[in-house]
Structure 1
């Protein structure tokens, strides 16, 4: 018994020493030069950069897999494979068709859409001095209007408030942002050889992953069964399969939904005779990929750019975007995507907010599927713990609130 107690106290002492050593290390690091954290971050970034082509290749393969499966089924309808050679041949034909579609879409975008968008951006930049002058006039007119409407407010307070609107700072911010964008584009252009090489490696990896996807799935299952107990391995594999179906349904559905919204936005803005219809439609379509916040974010540049064409055109664009958002939220989105994620609006808004704060636009887009998977795992863990403790407390869905009251829709 004394021997066991000594062993127990020894473990406690070792844990205490470990905590003290780590605490001293953290204090020394935090009190040292400020360059240590950027240096560590740069070191790990350089290591992870080596894996970029592989990660991008796996991502390309994952996103191309549904389209490849569609082509594979269509080819099999024409001629059912009779042996392994024909099966592999159909697989390679499907991959080839996917790449033809992707590169065809890129070619059409560069050939027909990109020049018009570039023309719109060039026109906006060329007119920027005029836009700045118009903003200054609007601010001056607004100050006069406030003085006339609210004479009770001291004139000095109004003047101080409008002086706080530093137009030069806003202009400098815009110029600096454009300079950063152009510097990034120039740096990317000068590093074009590395980009092309990494893209070629990624596309090659995607081809091999797609052509042999069953081997990767089999390898994952073998590894899972080797590491975990049989029961846990089966649950893990089932969770991964469910998450995969959910994410593919969300990504494909959201992409199709955003494409349709972008096309409708173009025709609507074109009908309103908006000179920047294509540019604004592209912004609306791309940002629509972000749940909830995307359409709201897209409305700001669309209305702001159109405002320089006149107040009435800007109001018409705002009304059109609001109608388009309602159509997407009430009909098109539920029709295409449905409840693929299975999470409430609260979790969607929270996940998009947190994801945007962590990883920007990419984080806002990826946050919802990731949070959905986390909630699935958490709810199953909670259910298991409650079952073990023999507590009957089922999860309450939002649609079940007020279930004790009669359903008005069923009362005749």
Structure 2
């Protein structure tokens, strides 16, 4: 009699391993004074190092997939491809074209942009003593202006406040940080080969993932349907698809928006004859990826750097960046992104603040799409719970607050 493998045992083993992992985490949290979040992050990082090339490959493939899909659809439409062989060739050609554009952009950055940025940084470091004196003079003048025109503020309070601002110490901290980074890069030259090898493997893995993405997606669907009930699996896959579309729209739209803002910033600062136009434009463009706080954070170093050239150039840069941010917030951003996330400014600001506290700049960038997904999940759970209780209480839109009577929900008999 032929024996078949019972897959229920495999499912039981999977759940057992999951329970054991959760139990270890709970024990760690209860038996140690250490915070559980750093512990989880540390263990996750140590495990990620082993699979780093594979994980990087999946991330690269995920980020490059919209561009590959764009070119593939163009080839299908213009060349009217229908046969399986020709469709496969169009996929390969699309991947090759995206890789060519990516590496071409990278080489152009190495040749033209990076040397200019490094030159700006070296110029700031070499003239640091002069810049310290300039900023110190500005602070002395500002202190005198406040004491003269704002007599409401006690003179000793103003003096103590400006005494705490030690420009020389701030520059020393900045230079020490820069030296630490440079020393780390120099000392890490030995491990450069390993890092390069990881990235080469990651890009190779990404090629195979992009070439067979339907197979990977189908495999993930099979696992989900195996682990969950059909109805639950269908809802979960629908949520994943919705989250995927939301994140891709946000990432692609925000990248295009930040690139345009960076280019416009460079053009404007070049017209203003700012010597650090490229460095400031890169800072403004990159930090613009962070919702709400990014433009503000990007404006601060831009004004401080320009302040080295004089007060009037700094004021001109501040006004220009303010106008640029208003253009982005009122026209360009809504035109490109629209309401891609569907969350209110309150949740955006809250999520960016919490994300920045937990994971720094990466957390600030990823906080909004993650929060949007969580809000979708929570709203669906709430809708399901209200439906079971037969309570008709619709979601309240921000613009309809004064049109809705929330004193008593409608309850079906």
Q: TM-score, normalised by structure 2?
A: 0.85
1:150-229 aligned within 5 A: 159-229=159-229
Instruction: Provide the residue aligned with 1:62 in structure 2.
Output: 62
Instruction: Work out whether 1:343 is the aligned partner of 2:347.
Output: no
CA distance in 1, matches of 2:220, 2:25: 38
Distance 1:230 1:178, change over 3 A: same
CA distance in 2, matches of 1:118, 1:23: 45
Q: 1:25 deviation in Å?
A: 6.6
1:34-183 aligned within 5 A: 45-149=45-149, 159-183=159-183
Flag structure 1 segments of 5+ consecutive residues without an equivalent: 1-20, 406-412
RMSD after superposition: 2.8
Contact 2:128 2:171 in 1 (8 A): no
* SS of 1:401 mapped into structure 2: helix
Q: 1:82 deviation in Å?
A: 4.0
Distance 1:29 1:168, change over 3 A: farther
Q: 1:109 deviation in Å?
A: 1.1
Q: TM-score, normalised by structure 1?
A: 0.86
Larger radius of gyration: 1
* SS of 2:361 mapped into structure 1: helix
Q: Deviations over 1:139-176 (max 9, x none)?
A: 33344445545678776665544433334432332122
Instruction: Work out whether 1:332 is the aligned partner of 2:340.
Output: no
Q: 1:76 deviation in Å?
A: 1.6
Q: 1:178 deviation in Å?
A: 1.2
CA distance in 1, matches of 2:94, 2:356: 36
CA distance in 2, matches of 1:65, 1:152: 60
Q: 1:79 deviation in Å?
A: 2.7
Instruction: Provide the residue aligned with 2:322 in structure 1.
Output: 322
Of the structure 1 ranges 358-367 and 179-188, higher mean CA displacement relative to structure 2 is found in 179-188
The number of aligned residues is 382
Q: Deviations over 1:243-292 (max 9, x none)?
A: 11111111111111111111111111111111111111111111111111
1:269-284 aligned within 5 A: 269-284=269-284
CA distance in 2, matches of 1:281, 1:27: 44
Q: 1:129 deviation in Å?
A: 1.0
Distance 1:52 1:84, change over 3 A: same
Distance 1:27 1:49, change over 3 A: closer
Flag structure 2 segments of 5+ consecutive residues without an equivalent: 1-22, 406-413
Contact 2:95 2:210 in 1 (8 A): yes
